[in-house]
Amino acid sequence: MVTPEQLKVRWRGVLAPLVTPFLQDGSLDLDSLRRNVAWLIERGARQGNTVLLAAGSGGDFPMMNLQERCQVIRTIAEVAAGGVPIVAGAQSLDMRESIAICQLCEELGIDAVQISGPYYYDGRPDDVLAWLTELGRHTQGGFAIYNNWYTGYDMSLELIDQLLDLPNSVALKWASPNFETFLAGVRRFLPRVGPFPAGVQDPGRSPAEPRTRAARTTAPSPAAPWCSWHSPARDR
């Protein structure tokens, strides 16, 4: 498992949330995915300026079954070939799916999985802690804890402290709907996980200066990688 200290070196630059291309019948377009990742690498994406986010929300993970999610993660890892660090989305309402994705990422040598509290359903602090504690029993891979407040459970600062105590926790992707809480989290967690290697997402006010001072890796709007998606259909 990578350590927070190692990630301070490995995770710098832009956290690029890769889209997942689909064919007209709804099946995966893995050829276009390969070309997209290769296109980014050909144009300079590498360790030190880019971290790839595979099968996250920007990659439409809720629209894929477990096999498809694993195919997307494996494809991105094969094209990146160790030259660009990768984080993979492992959120699921099914513990078995999260375990399978974590174990695949461990097998592939992916730096960490992005994992949050429950989405759709509300949660309680003890439920979230129990869920991620159980998940950690099945993998030696790293967790990038993600406070995905806008589609699920807004985790308190106290809960995130507890989650960062888990042996698997190596990074934090911090966001909050409240600007003051956002800044309080920056001050509170920065000493624990370094410069927010999984990316700092700001609330709706987009306070660019606090964000860039706090982070070595930032998460742009999904519009950025959408514009970079290269495929024959787009050329036409």
Pairing of strands 50-54, 13-17: parallel
Q: Is the pTM higher than 0.75?
A: yes
Which superfamily, per CATH, for 4-235? Aldolase class I (3.20.20.70)
pLDDT in single tens digits along all 236 residues of the chain: 888 888 888 888 888 999 999 999 999 999 999 999 999 999 999 999 999 999 998 899 999 999 999 999 999 999 999 999 999 999 998 999 999 999 999 999 999 999 987 777 777 899 999 999 999 999 999 999 998 887 768 899 999 999 999 999 999 988 888 888 888 998 899 888 854 533 344 444 443 333 333 345 555 544 333 333 333 443 44
Quickly count: other Cβ atoms within 10 Å of residue 90's Cβ. 31
Domain range annotation of the chain: 4-235
Quickly count: other Cβ atoms within 10 Å of residue 234's Cβ. 9
